[in-house]
């Protein structure tokens, strides 16, 4: 793909130019190779059989057609063991760093939206101390159950977890001093409505901290995907890929969405980290990709037989790149926005 072609299809360009300087200086990139997906002992030895069962489920799945029940045995443990360290933690690191510098009362009421298995909810509870009241909320039932067990195991008494949807939960308005949302922004069916609800839950002068990957995450793969679809003259599929990318947040669109509420952005950090994979199969079958991206990527080519043709070619080209470079490397640009309610 020529330099002109490389830019011509990309829906937005604002994430590829100069970025805001991180407040705390450049964070080190995550340069260690992604660890292999193996069943190993966890902090909770009683959960290791369930973790092994989930690992087998992923290992045997056809990534081009498989669906995963998040409430199945071992899925919450797998999320904790693989997705949290590889995906959630780089985003939460910057969120927690911002938490340390924003003002908050010692008895703060805090809500962590889409808390999953309790990360970074438990870390927020530790940072704020016993005077704070921290609640995590998520629609994922077994993740909430695991988060509750983890809180009990470490005797954290200032944190609770609610299995509910933020859109329908019976939470009081103007009650929270702080609301955090790590990585959930792109998963809301109606992002603007979700932001409006969270804004209503905040007290005046309350803070809202949001992290999200940006549109250019895994751009090297998306560019290759676009090239293959173009070469195969799959125009409808190419248009679908462009539409998918357009739907992902950029710095400008994320800012605008927050500023349409009663929230005003006061701090922001934009940076990136690096993910490494051994080869194409390792990339496509990674729980991070399988749970977070593959459903959208494979829907670009609805016909399964044609999808296999496309992804076989993608695998071939990615494996050539991996052989030359000793693995696959993808940049994940991200944004952390800190906003205050007027």
**C-alpha triplet 45, 48, 52: angle, nearest 5°:** 170
Q: Would you place residue 15 in the very low, low, confident or very high pLDDT band (cuts 50, 70, 90)?
A: low
50 or 200: which carries more pLDDT confidence?
Answer: 200
The band of 85, judged by pLDDT with boundaries at 50, 70 and 90, is very high
Choices 3.90.1150.10, 3.40.50.1110, 3.40.640.10, 3.40.50.150: CATH for 3-34+55-341: 3.40.50.150
| pLDDT, tens digit (0-9, with 9 covering 90-100), for 171-199 | 999 999 999 999 999 999 999 999 999 99
pLDDT classification of 59: cutoffs 50, 70, 90: confident
Average pLDDT over residues 324-330: 97
Average pLDDT over residues 55-82: 92
The H-or-E segment that residue 141 falls in is: helix 141-153
Task: List the 263-277 sheet strands across, edge first.
Answer: 159-163, 133-138, 109-113, 176-182, 202-213, 328-341, 263-277
Question: How high does pLDDT run on average in the chain?
Answer: 88
Task: Residue 58: count other Cβ atoms within 10 Å of its Cβ.
Answer: 20
For the full predicted model, state whether its pTM sits above 0.85. yes
pLDDT digits (tens, 9 = 90+) for 265-290: 999 999 999 999 999 999 999 999 99
Closest CA to 81 of 111, 53, 107, 61: 53
Confidence label for 148 from pLDDT (cuts 50, 70 and 90):
very high
Residue 48 has pLDDT above 90, yes or no: no
Residue 183 has a pLDDT of 96
Residue extents of the structural domains in the chain: 3-34+55-341
- Give the range among 31-35, 103-107, 244-248 with minimum mean pLDDT: 31-35
């Amino acid at each position: 793909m020529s330099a002109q072609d490389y830019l011509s299809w990309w829906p937005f360009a604002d994430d590829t130019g100069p970025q805001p300087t991180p407040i705390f200086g450049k964070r080190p990139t995550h340069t260690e190779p992604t660890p292999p997906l193996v069943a190993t002992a966890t902090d909770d030895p009683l959960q290791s059989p369930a973790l092994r069962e989930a690992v087998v489920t992923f290992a045997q799945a056809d990534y081009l057609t498989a669906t995963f029940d998040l409430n199945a045995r071992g899925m919450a443990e797998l999320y904790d063991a693989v997705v949290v360290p590889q995906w959630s933690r780089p985003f939460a690191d910057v969120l927690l760093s911002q938490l340390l510098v924003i003002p908050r009362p010692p008895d703060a009421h805090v809500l962590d939206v889409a808390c999953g298995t309790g990360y970074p909810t438990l870390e927020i509870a530790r940072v704020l101390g016993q005077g704070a009241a921290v609640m995590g909320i998520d629609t994922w039932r077994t993740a909430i159950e695991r988060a509750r067990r983890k809180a009990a195991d470490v005797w954290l008494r200032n944190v609770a977890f609610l299995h509910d949807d933020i859109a329908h939960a019976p939470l009081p308005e103007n009650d929270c001093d702080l609301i955090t949302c790590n990585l959930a922004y792109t998963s809301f069916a109606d992002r603007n409505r979700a932001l409006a609800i969270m804004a209503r839950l905040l007290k005046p002068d309350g803070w809202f901290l949001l992290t999200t990957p940006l549109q250019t995450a895994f751009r090297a793969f998306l560019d290759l995907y676009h090239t293959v679809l173009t070469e195969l003259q799959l125009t409808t599929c190419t248009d679908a890929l462009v539409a998918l990318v357009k739907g992902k947040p950029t710095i400008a669109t994320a800012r605008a969405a927050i500023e349409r509420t009663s929230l005003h952005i006061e701090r922001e950090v934009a940076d990136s980290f690096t993910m490494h994979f051994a080869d194409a199969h390792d990339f496509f079958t990674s729980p991070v990709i399988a749970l977070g991206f593959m459903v959208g990527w494979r829907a670009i080519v609805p016909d399964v037989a044609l999808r296999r043709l496309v992804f076989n070619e993608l695998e071939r080209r990615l494996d050539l790149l991996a052989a030359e470079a000793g693995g696959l490397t993808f940049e994940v640009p991200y944004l952390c926005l800190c906003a205050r309610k007027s």
